[in-house]
Amino acid sequence: MLIKVPSVVNLGLETIKVDVEVNLANRGLPGFEIVGLPDKAVDESKERVRAAISSSGIDFPAKKITINLAPADIPKEGSLYDLPIAVGILSSVLGFPIPKNSLFLGELSFDGSLRHTKGALLMALFAKEFRFENLFVPKDSANEAGAIKGVKVFPVENLIQLSSHFLKRKSIEPVSGQKILDALPAPAEFDMREVLGQEQAKRAMEIAAAGGHNIIMVGSPGSGKTMLARALPGILPPLNETESLEVTKIYSAAGNIPPGGSLITNRQFRAPHHTASLVGLVGGGARPHPGEISLAHRGVLFLDEFNEFPHSVMEAMRQPLEDGYLTISRSKQRVMYPADFMLVASANPCPCGYLNHPKKICICSPLQIKKYQKRVSGPILDRIDLHIAIQPVDTTEFSDNQKNSELLESSKAIKQRVVLARQKQEKRFENDSIQSNAQMKNTHIKNYCKLEKDIEELLYRASIKFQLSARSYMKTIKVARTIADLEGAEEIAISHMAEALQYKPKIYEL
Amino acid sequence: MEQVIGIEAQKYPRLLKEIGNEAPKKLYYKGNWEEFFPAKAGSRSAAGENCLAVVGSRHLTSYGRKITEQLVTEIAAAGITIVSGFMYGGDEAAHKATVRMGGRTIAVMPCGIDIIHPEYQKELYNEILEKNGLIISEYEGKFLPVNWTYVQRNRIVAGLSKAILVVEAGLNSGSLITAKYAKKYGRKIFAVPGQITSEVSKGTIKLIKEGAEPVSEANDILKFFKVLVNPVKRAPSSQNSQNFVSSGLTKSGSLEQKIIEQLKREPMEADLIARTLGVSVAKIGTALSLMQLKGFINQESGKYYIN
């Protein structure tokens, strides 16, 4: 007896249909075999399925069972085939037909219940595109799949419940009118008003958030770099619908959506440590997996102690910083992961950390400092729009008013401006393939950043005086555009350009 | 031909010989020795006769650097030879300011004469030789610098000079060792006062307490050398074609004027200016950029200075 249960395989962010063919043969010794390039997790599904069916009070058929995952030449991985395999066997034992136009995905527990399984969203997208009407997924993954409108998602709790549904005893209600719950809220650890002083750095953060600019902070230990970065999520604009789907896809593929979560609507903040491996950061592996930079897609990648990251990591980030995606090529497959993130880096100015510190003396020689600063490769620095120097703050020198954080601007107030500036950008780039000012290429700059003659002259003089490279020149214009957007101005004015010059690359003189 | 001067030679620096048995037996050199120490002993006009040692911390603050440049430029312009130890920080600032203005300088190396130490200051090294300066050392060939050679070098720096100017020095610093030698050899000691909270002002303040003369302008030192010059007012760097500049130029009460008032008291970073004046940092940033382009102010290690 041959039963076909449709499911999918996710290769990176791509989804391909897989037929789980279940054959129960009456001849031959009883046994259980899976073919079709299963990996270890798929192969172990035999034990889970056997136990789950038994604990559901159903006799496991003493037949020679062979499962084929077709197409047979694509490697399958993960635990998602537990459900289709079990459904195939149950359909034979209990004698119900497999509903048409349905897809199955889910990991089984020994007790017959279903566990949250990664990739539900990708399957739902696939279902929508290829007109599969019904999706049977674990209850915990139903919200995730249900985020896609136009497909019926059945939340399955356990095998008994599913069997009664198919035997038409008690049907499962499909998830509908899904209220979008934020899967991963990104609570900022600090409110901007908690950061005392650092006015210029805060302003730079606002500009970075508004235009999606990369930013680097250089300052002594304890000057508040990390705190500023951690406060950043609180002023980031929310993801729009398309962005939200893009991000959720990556998280779904990586299995990073928590049980019960649906769409991710907040910009994610990823802060990998500098000892993280290259593959962990940029993605890869024998079966390519998204790395931290992809998980930071449309969000923030915070690299603390930037100089400490290995050279290989920094070099690997160059392509994604430029293109907004990363291609991982393996001999058998090629996977493209989007990685359009905002880079927030922080670094010490010198090995001891106290260069230019108001109280402490730096004990590094100029040569050491040069070597240390050279560890950040030029091409990477060249892709960073905002450079700020952070000085430690002595709050004892503050007046009571200045110390009173209630009087400072809150993240919420800053966020409002940021959101408005982003809306302006979205409107501006309606017919372009970009979303923010930071992504502008030279043609966009020509179109959207018309400079009056005197502004152009100001920039020209500045480029001579401050020795700006051609790329820095363009970056300054982009930053000025964002500053103008924050102010709600249509055209870039002299004041915008002058302020943008504050965030130019700094040369740390001794 | 090896360029070396023995202690018995006529050309041996007179002042250095006076320090008695501490005087180096031999001096290796690069550059034109006769320019500084001609054979006719006691020629008062020779460059080597009027030497001022200028020493400062390796970790010179931006204040120290600015003062060194200012004082040395004026003093060297008056024809005084600037002697220092070619280390980075204070020494390097002194040598650099001298060669930039076309003055005479002697660099005393802590290593063999054929080595440039620190090596990345090669450019400055060549510049000194090109601009008629002198490089000397008591060590031959490729002798590598070790802890004690720095200290020994300092005694030559002090010995060659009539007076010594300490710009910034921490306690237990090489600069104080040089000052100690200078005291021992009976040389005049000048020190630049700094903020008492600064680590690198502690040494100079100690010197002043012990009787060193505080310096506030180049004339304080030039008087000692019996050369009096009119204080050179450094002409503000010329600014031509200021069309966008002239528009908002410093009306009294304007933001720019207020910023200048603040910076006159002390150099500040943008944050502090914004905080003090109670103006948004965005506006301050705009003003600072424009003022910088106009040449009113300058930025160094995060802080803004009046030009």
Selected for mutation to probe chain B from A196, A456, A499 (highest B CB count within 10 Å) is A499
Q: Give the model's pLDDT for residue A116.
A: 95
- The CA distance from A277 to B78, in Å, is 61
Q: Which of A399, A505, A510 has the alpha carbon at shortest distance from B272?
A: A399
> For chain A, what is the total number of helices (H) and then of strands (E)?
21, 18
Instruction: Count how many residues are written for chain B.
Output: 307
Give the closest of A363, A398, A454 to B244, CB-based.
A454
- The CA distance from A23 to A88, in Å, is 9
| Interchain pair B270, A356: CB under 8 A | no
**Strand partners of residue A426:** none
Q: Rounded to whole angstroms, what are the CA distances from A75 to A41, A78, A287, A370?
A: 12, 10, 9, 49
Q: What is the pLDDT of residues A348-389, one digit of tens each?
A: 989 998 888 877 888 888 888 888 888 888 888 888 999 999
Distance to chain B for A317, nearest Cα, Å: 29
- The CA distance from A333 to A75, in Å, is 10
For tokens 């555009």, the residue is A481
Distance to chain B for A432, nearest Cα, Å: 30
Q: Give the model's pLDDT for residue B233.
A: 46
Give the pair of three-digit tokens for residue B163.
Answer: 């007076």
Report helix angle A45-55 to A82-94, nearest 10.
40
**String of DSSP letters for A208-254:** HHHHT--EEEEE-TTSSHHHHHHHGGGGSPPP-HHHHHHHHHHHHHH
Q: Which of A88, A295, A224, A211 has the alpha carbon at shortest distance from A500?
A: A211
| Interchain pair A200, B286: CB under 8 A | no
Q: Rounded to whole angstroms, what are the CA distances from B120 to A365, B86, B112, B124, B126?
A: 11, 11, 16, 9, 11
Residues of chain B with pLDDT under 50: 230-248
Give the pair of three-digit tokens for residue A432.
Answer: 């372009």
Who contacts B62 (Cβ-Cβ below 8 Å, separation ≥6)?
A356, A509, B267, B300, B301, B303, B305
Q: Give the model's pLDDT for residue B237.
A: 42
Looking at residue A174, the DSSP 8-state letter turns out to be: P
Q: Rounded to whole angstroms, what are the CA distances from A272 to A265, A281, A326, A333, A463?
A: 21, 7, 18, 27, 35
Q: Give the model's pLDDT for residue B242.
A: 42
Give the closest of A198, A359, A499 to B271, CB-based.
A198
Give the closest of B58, B270, B302 to A356, CB-based.
B302
Q: Give the model's pLDDT for residue A180.
A: 62
Residues of chain A with pLDDT under 70: 176-186, 507-510
Residue of A nearest to B119 (CA): A367
Who contacts B7 (Cβ-Cβ below 8 Å, separation ≥6)?
B17, B23, B24, B25, B26
Residue of A nearest to B87 (CA): A365
Contacts of B288 in chain A (CB under 8 A): 502
Give the pair of three-digit tokens for residue B67.
Answer: 């003062």
Q: Give the model's pLDDT for residue A284.
A: 86
- Please check whether residue B305 touches A, CB under 8 A: no
- The CA distance from A307 to B7, in Å, is 52
Residue A421, SS3 per DSSP = helix
Distance to chain B for A222, nearest Cα, Å: 17
- The CA distance from B126 to B96, in Å, is 11
| ipTM attached to this prediction | 0.84
CB-based contact A22:A33 (threshold 8 Å)? no
Give the closest of B59, B271, B300 to A199, CB-based.
B271
Q: φ and ψ at B163, to 5 degrees?
A: -145, 165
Give the closest of A365, A367, A502 to B270, CB-based.
A502
